[in-house]
Amino acid sequence: MNLLTELEKRIGTDFKNNDLLQEALTHRSYLNENPRYKYGNNERLEFLGDAVLELIVTEELFNRLPEKEEGEMTSYRAALVNAKMLARVADDIGLAEKILVSKGEARELDKTKSRESISADAVEAVIGAIYLDAGFDAAKEFIAKFIFPNIDEILRSGGKDAKSRVQEIAQEKLKITPTYKVISESGPAHDRIFKVGLYFGDRLESEGEGKSKQEAETNAAEEALQKLGAD
């Protein structure tokens, strides 16, 4: 099973034009090192996918939250489609490791912000590719499957993710910024499980597991919120 077929299986989309999916996975830095590469970079698809994503999420929030005003729904939408949330989606579907980047950019992927940005852009590009290949309903099906499940979490947080809420509480009550450290990794390379600890100074406050460091950090933050609420 090649990488594209594996990804199609995970996202539940069988592309008629695989060139679109290939382009969606191509970061612009890759073309600098591979000038004869026959596909373009994913920026145009990202531009399209961003608009499709915003419309579909807006429609869902509008229908789901009839009592909410524009300002609140805008906050919820921003939290659903920000880089951190989309990077989590990229990890969930195994997209991040399939993005083509330059060797130099690959080294930068160890840095959270760079990884988040490139992964999030690729998710939007994939949405754009699905839209062009199979239409609006197919794009909506992808978004409903991988992004709508996060709505309840966003509603509980008031539009703020768990890590942001923990940081606010820790800074307000303890005058300290929480940190996250990987405690252990297990499983084969293609299916790693990360255990991450959330620390207040030297004190381990909570732990979380996930298929990515970001997911494990979020789960650790969720556990910390429950403990802080109980306290």
Q: Which two tokens stand for residue 219?
A: 């789960």
- Which residues have C-beta within 8 Å of that of residue 12, sequence separation ≥ 6? 141, 142, 145
Q: Which of 46, 124, 133, 222 is catalytic?
A: 124
Is-catalytic flag, 50? yes
Q: What backbone torsions phi and psi does residue 211 show, to the nearest 5 degrees?
A: -80, -5
Q: What backbone torsions phi and psi does residue 192 show, to the nearest 5 degrees?
A: -75, 150
Is-catalytic flag, 124? yes
Radius of gyration of the chain (CA): 19
Residues 44, 40: Cα–Cα separation, whole Å: 9
Q: Which of 46, 50, 92, 217 is catalytic?
A: 50
Angle ∠(86,50,162) on CA atoms, nearest 5:
30
Contact 132, 48 (CB under 8 A): yes
Active site residues: 50, 124
